[in-house]
């Protein structure tokens, strides 16, 4: 079963930890450091938001001379970086070194002359570049190189995973394939910055920032773009004039609650996006949700966007996840694999409903890593104890305090490999007492459930909320049954009981096969029957569902 020369799990335990430590840091990892110090979440956000404001998005012909294109644009100023990608046509993301270059480019840009329609004259940083003489200019020109903005399909992934030399390296391979690239991250900040330009027409001091998986280190190529319209700077009082007998105050419209203010602002910004935002389509206002939002598709960037406001707690939870994801390379690798596994088996879905969400799965993985001996990541209370005065955040009465400086957090002494962690993750949740216990990453301990929801994961900041309140009993049962099945498969491989041929998917790849789901006995603990029988039926199902029949899972 094991590929010739592939070491047994017990042998790879130490060596793959070393391999992980020796992995050449990708550009993303190198960019997230200042000298030897890791950048804080706030530093990364500030830097990227500023960079996005110096950046433009240009729709251009696929066959274009890159050199001439850059020479043409550099008349407006120095270009720091650029890249091309495809999304309803070919687009270039061009970052100037100075913001003024954009005004210079806008000065020479025409408004479109459309014959039968009328253009809404909103001047943005989204342009179209055309060739003056397409027939001669594009002839003999090779298409520009485009950066990928989506993940490979699952059957290609399965094949790639099979050529790794350990389960641990399979998890790292999956993460390398799925994680956001430097280019895609830039595009996410640019899309926020383009929406900020629209909102700035009413609120010149506002910022639009990405949160959620776009920035919390757990984002997969193709994931949605959660945007936060931050109006806080406007509310901040300037230092009051100490002299003089008067106070000055703005006259402002009053509304009964912050929720109503958010709904009105989002409703109006939603209309602006719909009416003036180039490339923004399918605008839906979902204002009665717990957290009111405007959903739309940013077609040129290729993102589904959720715009919210007054959502600072979610911003803090994104920062918390950023910290956990940056502490140890095993955290992200495990979360990416568990999320991919859940998506392939329909445990998570892009459609809202009673399913477990990626956010909940991440919390479960973090909780599991807190429970290792020694723990791989600290609890939220421990991070709170490390906090400085400037880390103190009380938002709407919720204590959101934790250390933001990654360098203050002592690295773990736990050296377990991902081979062990993946298998134990499934075993742990396959046997978790969901009926009586809740998951709590603040304490790093199970607690009694305060109410009878099938799955209870305490919101780390808004402690009275269950982040998985939507999950029903049957979805939880499916998760548990699949987790047991997968723990069993990995254990069989580890003990050498598995006797499948070398060409069959193994390790993480085997867990992504549709046949895994068909073996689950709903709601029942797997019977450890004779191994040979189990393997025989597993073999049969693999024959039926060979890798080619895997669904193309391009979404999130």
The four Cα atoms 317, 321, 322, 328 give a dihedral, to 10 degrees, of: 160
Q: How far is the CB of 533 from ligand CTP (least distance, A)?
A: 38
Stretch that binds Mg ion, among 1-9, 138-146, 205-213, 474-482 (CB under 5 A): 205-213
- Using CB under 5 A as the binding rule, the residues of this chain from 37 to 66 that contact Mg ion are none
- Which of Mg ion, ligand CTP, none does 467 bind, CB closer than 5 to 8 A by kind? ligand CTP
Q: Rounded distance, CA 204 to CA 237, Å? A: 16
Residue 207, φ and ψ in degrees, nearest 5: -130, 150
The structure tokens 């180039």 sit at 278
Please say which residue, 166 or 185, places its beta carbon nearer to ligand CTP: 185
The structure tokens 């390790």 sit at 507
The phi-psi region of residue 243 (left if phi > 0; otherwise alpha if psi is between -120 and 50; otherwise beta) is beta
Please say which residue, 317 or 326, places its beta carbon nearer to ligand CTP: 317
Q: How far is the CB of 347 from ligand CTP (least distance, A)?
A: 12
Stretch that binds Mg ion, among 220-228, 344-352, 365-373, 446-454 (CB under 5 A): 220-228
Q: Rounded distance, CA 36 to CA 52, Å? A: 25
Please say which residue, 309 or 318, places its beta carbon nearer to ligand CTP: 318
Q: Report angle CA 261, 264, 270 to the nearest 5 degrees.
A: 135
User: Element (H or E) spanning 555, and its range?
Assistant: none
- Which of ligand CTP, Mg ion, none does 357 bind, CB closer than 5 to 8 A by kind? ligand CTP
Interface residue with Mg ion among 210, 212, 270, 505 (CB under 5 A) is 212
Please say which residue, 16 or 357, places its beta carbon nearer to ligand CTP: 357
Stretch that binds Mg ion, among 35-43, 210-218, 376-384, 491-499 (CB under 5 A): 210-218
- Using CB under 5 A as the binding rule, the residues of this chain from 88 to 127 that contact Mg ion are none
Please say which residue, 226 or 419, places its beta carbon nearer to ligand CTP: 226
362 is a contact residue toward Mg ion (CB under 5 A): no
Q: How far is the CB of 213 from Mg ion (least distance, A)?
A: 5
Residue of 199, 499, 205, 220 whose CA lies nearest to 344: 220
The answer to whether residues 395 and 316 touch, using CB atoms and an 8 Å cutoff, is: yes
Q: How far is the CB of 31 from ligand CTP (least distance, A)?
A: 21
- Which of ligand CTP, Mg ion, none does 318 bind, CB closer than 5 to 8 A by kind? ligand CTP
Strand boundaries in 254-411, DSSP class E: 280-286, 293-298, 303-309, 394-395, 398-399
User: Which residue's CB atom is positioned nearest to Mg ion?
Assistant: 212
Secondary structure of the chain: what % helix, strand, coil (to 5)? 45, 15, 45
361 is a contact residue toward Mg ion (CB under 5 A): no
CB atoms within 10 A of CB 183: 18
226 is a contact residue toward Mg ion (CB under 5 A): yes
Q: How far is the CB of 316 from Mg ion (least distance, A)?
A: 15
The answer to whether residues 168 and 12 touch, using CB atoms and an 8 Å cutoff, is: yes
Q: How far is the CB of 395 from Mg ion (least distance, A)?
A: 20
The structure tokens 């003990």 sit at 495
Q: Which residues of this protein are in contact with ligand CTP, per CB under 6 A?
A: 212-213, 216, 219, 223-224, 226, 314, 317-318, 357-359, 467, 556
- Using CB under 5 A as the binding rule, the residues of this chain from 377 to 406 that contact Mg ion are none
Q: Rounded distance, CA 58 to CA 187, Å? A: 12
Residue 334 structure tokens: 């495990």
Q: Rounded distance, CA 419 to CA 171, Å? A: 9
Please say which residue, 218 or 434, places its beta carbon nearer to Mg ion: 218
Q: Rounded distance, CA 546 to CA 535, Å? A: 16
Please say which residue, 278 or 325, places its beta carbon nearer to ligand CTP: 325
Q: Rounded distance, CA 476 to CA 209, Å? A: 33
Q: What is the DSSP letter of 556?
A: -
Tell me the sheet residues that pair with 438: 447
Q: How far is the CB of 267 from Mg ion (least distance, A)?
A: 22
Residue 546, φ and ψ in degrees, nearest 5: -70, 165
Stretch that binds Mg ion, among 96-104, 186-194, 201-209, 225-233 (CB under 5 A): 225-233
Q: How far is the CB of 306 from Mg ion (least distance, A)?
A: 7
Interface residue with Mg ion among 95, 177, 224, 230 (CB under 5 A) is 224
How many residues line the site for Mg ion (CB under 5 A)?
A: 4
Stretch that binds Mg ion, among 136-144, 182-190, 209-217, 315-323 (CB under 5 A): 209-217
Helix axis angle, 473-494 relative to 531-544, nearest 10°?
A: 110
Please say which residue, 45 or 317, places its beta carbon nearer to ligand CTP: 317
Q: How far is the CB of 318 from ligand CTP (least distance, A)?
A: 5
Please say which residue, 12 or 215, places its beta carbon nearer to Mg ion: 215
In a 3-state reduction of DSSP, which class is residue 246?
A: coil
Q: Rounded distance, CA 537 to CA 329, Å? A: 36
Interface residue with Mg ion among 17, 45, 213, 329 (CB under 5 A) is 213
Please say which residue, 69 or 359, places its beta carbon nearer to Mg ion: 359
**Which ranges in 81-225 belong to alpha helices (H)?**
100-107, 134-138, 154-162, 167-178, 182-199
- Which of Mg ion, ligand CTP, none does 54 bind, CB closer than 5 to 8 A by kind? none
The structure tokens 């959720």 sit at 306
Please say which residue, 350 or 499, places its beta carbon nearer to ligand CTP: 350
Please say which residue, 91 or 359, places its beta carbon nearer to ligand CTP: 359
Q: How far is the CB of 342 from Mg ion (least distance, A)?
A: 15
Q: Report angle CA 234, 239, 242 to the nearest 5 degrees.
A: 145
Residue 98 structure tokens: 């100075």
Q: Rounded distance, CA 79 to CA 100, Å? A: 12
- Which of ligand CTP, Mg ion, none does 184 bind, CB closer than 5 to 8 A by kind? none
User: Which residue's CB atom is positioned nearest to ligand CTP?
Assistant: 212
Please say which residue, 227 or 509, places its beta carbon nearer to ligand CTP: 227
The four Cα atoms 81, 58, 222, 357 give a dihedral, to 10 degrees, of: 100
- Which of ligand CTP, Mg ion, none does 485 bind, CB closer than 5 to 8 A by kind? none
Residues that bind Mg ion (CB under 5 A): 212-213, 224, 226
């Amino acid at each position: 079963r094991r590929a010739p020369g592939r070491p047994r799990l017990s042998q790879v335990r130490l060596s793959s930890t070393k391999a992980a430590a020796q992995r050449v840091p990708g550009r993303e990892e190198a960019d997230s450091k200042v000298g030897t110090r890791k950048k804080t979440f706030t530093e990364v956000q500030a830097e990227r938001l500023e960079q996005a404001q110096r950046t433009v998005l240009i729709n251009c012909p696929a066959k274009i001379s890159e050199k001439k294109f850059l020479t043409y644009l550099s008349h407006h100023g120095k270009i720091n970086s650029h890249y091309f990608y495809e999304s309803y046509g070919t687009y270039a993301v061009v970052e100037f070194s100075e913001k003024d270059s954009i005004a210079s480019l806008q000065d020479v840009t025409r408004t479109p002359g459309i014959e039968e329609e009328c253009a809404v004259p909103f001047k943005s940083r989204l342009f179209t570049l055309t060739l003056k003489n397409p027939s001669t200019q594009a002839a003999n020109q090779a298409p520009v190189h485009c950066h990928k903005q989506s993940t490979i399909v699952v059957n290609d992934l399965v094949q790639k995973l099979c050529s790794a030399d350990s389960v641990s390296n399979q998890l790292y391979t999956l993460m390398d394939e799925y994680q956001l690239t430097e280019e895609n991250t830039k595009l996410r900040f640019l899309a926020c910055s383009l929406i900020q330009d629209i909102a700035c027409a009413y609120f010149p001091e506002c910022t639009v920032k990405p949160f959620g998986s776009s920035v919390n280190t757990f984002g997969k190529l193709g994931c949605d773009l959660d945007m936060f319209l931050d109006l806080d700077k406007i509310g901040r009082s300037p230092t009051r004039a100490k002299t003089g007998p008067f106070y000055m105050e703005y006259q402002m419209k009053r509304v009964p609650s912050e929720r109503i203010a958010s709904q009105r602002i989002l409703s109006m910004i939603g209309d602006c996006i719909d009416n003036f935002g180039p490339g923004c389509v399918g605008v839906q206002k979902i204002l009665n949700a717990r957290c009111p939002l405007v959903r739309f598709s940013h077609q040129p960037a290729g993102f589904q966007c959720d715009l919210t406001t007054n959502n600072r707690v979610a911003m803090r939870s994104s920062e918390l996840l950023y910290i956990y994801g940056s502490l140890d390379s095993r955290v992200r690798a495990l979360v990416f694999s568990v999320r991919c596994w859940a998506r392939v088996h329909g445990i998570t879905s892009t459609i809202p409903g009673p399913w477990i969400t990626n956010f909940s799965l991440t919390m479960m993985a973090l909780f599991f890593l807190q429970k290792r001996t020694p723990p791989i990541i600290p609890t939220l209370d421990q991070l709170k104890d490390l906090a400085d005065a400037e880390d103190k955040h009380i938002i709407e009465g919720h204590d959101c305090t934790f250390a933001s400086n990654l360098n203050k957090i002592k690295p773990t002494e736990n050296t377990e490999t991902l081979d062990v962690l993946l298998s134990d993750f499934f075993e742990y949740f396959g046997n978790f007492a969901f009926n009586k216990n809740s998951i709590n990453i603040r304490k790093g301990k199970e607690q009694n459930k305060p109410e009878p929801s099938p799955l209870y994961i305490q919101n780390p900041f808004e402690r009275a909320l269950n982040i998985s309140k939507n999950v029903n009993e049957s979805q939880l049962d499916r998760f548990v049954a699949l987790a047991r099945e997968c723990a069993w498969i990995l254990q069989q491989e580890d003990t050498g009981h598995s006797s499948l041929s070398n060409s069959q998917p193994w390790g993480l790849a085997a867990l992504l096969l549709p046949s895994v789901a068909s073996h689950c006995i709903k709601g029942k603990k797997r019977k450890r029957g004779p191994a040979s029988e189990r393997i025989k039926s597993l073999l049969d199902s693999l024959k039926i569902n060979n890798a080619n029949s895997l669904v193309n899972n391009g979404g999130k």
